[in-house]
Amino acid sequence: MPALRLAEAGAVLDRLDPAVLFSDVDGTLVGRGGSLLAGLDGTPTLAAAEALVEAGRAGLEVVLVSGRTAAQLREASRLLGLRDAIGEVGAVLVLGGTVELQWGEAPRGVGATPAEAIERSGSLATVLDAFRGRLEPHAPWHEGRQGTALLRGQVDAVEVDEVLAGAGFGWARLQDNGRLRGAYPHLGPATTHAYHLAPAGVTKARAAAAYLARRGLAAGRAAAIGDAPADLELAGVVGAMFLVANGAWAADEPCAPGSGGEPEPGSGGRAPVIATPSSAGDGWAEAGRALLAR
């Protein structure tokens, strides 16, 4: 289902009373090199920084929801003046000074963390062997993880899940966390994506829903913004789902969450997907200001 243009989304946004904005980080809030002060092409911009300040003044709480680790999100939150975060595509909840791991369907007793269970069970080795030359660890960012295995490659996540199920690892899933800007010709001629091998039942949406429940907030009090299929799952638990322009492709993916299909369990439906005119931080600012206008 094609995304709505931001200019067409007034009726959707008018139904909201936003208190929380769940925000992806890389390619969404920040631009080239992970900089808050740069666009995807490296051009300096203050748009996202200014919009973050405006959100804070207005009482709109930004909660980072990312593939980054707890340690990385703590540092990012400290620099941005934020508090809570969701890491490793939903496997890690960072609530102030505490970290909670989300195990989903991962087997207990195989490792001290879901990430250890993924490695020690053999599920990671199975995937890397089956898709050798097309999938590899996303070095050096694959290290120090607690909830997922971080990979990069050019594969079909559905095909990978079928291989996992056939090898007895139906409790694991491959999640597409968006396109990478770097060139990786050894992986193939297509665009390389970042993927998370995660326990089934662990998603950004489930973690966000649990967060809202703790805060006593309904879906209409929250919105989300991202740039990848893994972000679109949030459409099932919030009142509005934004994609920055560089992520609008995700809404057209045949199997993209939020572009059709079944809603997240217990969500009661999916929010319409809204695409911003601009990419990354500039698009983030456009979405943030559209929410603040409400």
pLDDT confidence tier of residue 268, bands split at 50, 70 and 90: low
Mean pLDDT of 267-290: 92
Q: Which domain holds residue 83?
A: 4-101+202-292
**For the chain, what percent of residues have pLDDT higher than 90?**
91
In sequence order, the 6+-apart residues with CB closer than 8 A to the CB of 231 are: 24, 28, 65, 178, 204, 224, 225, 241, 243, 247, 250
pLDDT in tens, 244-266: 999 999 998 765 543 333 334 33
- 172, 199, 226: which is the final residue of a domain? 199
pLDDT at 264: 42
Question: Is residue 109 in some structural domain?
Answer: no
Residues in the chain: 294
Same domain, 269 and 223: yes
Is this prediction's pTM over 0.75? yes
Mean pLDDT of 234-252: 96
Q: What is the CATH number of the domain that holds 284?
A: 3.40.50.1000
Same domain, 175 and 212: no
Mean pLDDT of 187-212: 97
Question: Is residue 77 in some structural domain?
Answer: yes
pLDDT in tens, 64-117: 999 999 999 999 999 999 999 999 999 999 998 899 999 999 999 999 999 999
Nearest by Cα to 176 from 189, 192, 165, 190:
192
Strands of the sheet with 273-275, listed across from one edge? 4-5, 273-275, 240-243, 222-226, 20-23, 61-65, 85-87, 92-95, 98-101
Question: Rounded mean pLDDT of the chain?
Answer: 93
pLDDT at 294: 81
**Strand positions, DSSP E, 88-212:** 92-95, 98-101, 135-137, 149-153, 172-179, 193-199
Whether 205 contacts 269, CB under 8 Å: no
Same domain, 87 and 48: yes
- 170, 199, 228: which is the final residue of a domain? 199
Same domain, 185 and 261: no
Same domain, 207 and 84: yes
pLDDT confidence tier of residue 2, bands split at 50, 70 and 90: confident
Whether 275 contacts 4, CB under 8 Å: yes
pLDDT score of 224 more than 90? yes
pLDDT at 219: 96
pLDDT score of 50 more than 50? yes
Mean pLDDT of 31-39: 96
Same domain, 139 and 266: no
Distance CA 16, CA 1 (A): 22
Mean pLDDT of 268-278: 90
**For the chain, what percent of residues have pLDDT higher than 70?**
95
pLDDT at 1: 61
Same domain, 208 and 283: yes
Whether 141 contacts 235, CB under 8 Å: no
- Considering its fold, how many domains does the chain have in total? 2
- Which tokens is 244 given? 């920055």
Same domain, 127 and 187: yes
Nearest by Cα to 97 from 118, 121, 78:
78
pLDDT at 97: 81
- Which tokens is 247 given? 């992520």
pLDDT score of 188 more than 50? yes
pLDDT at 165: 98
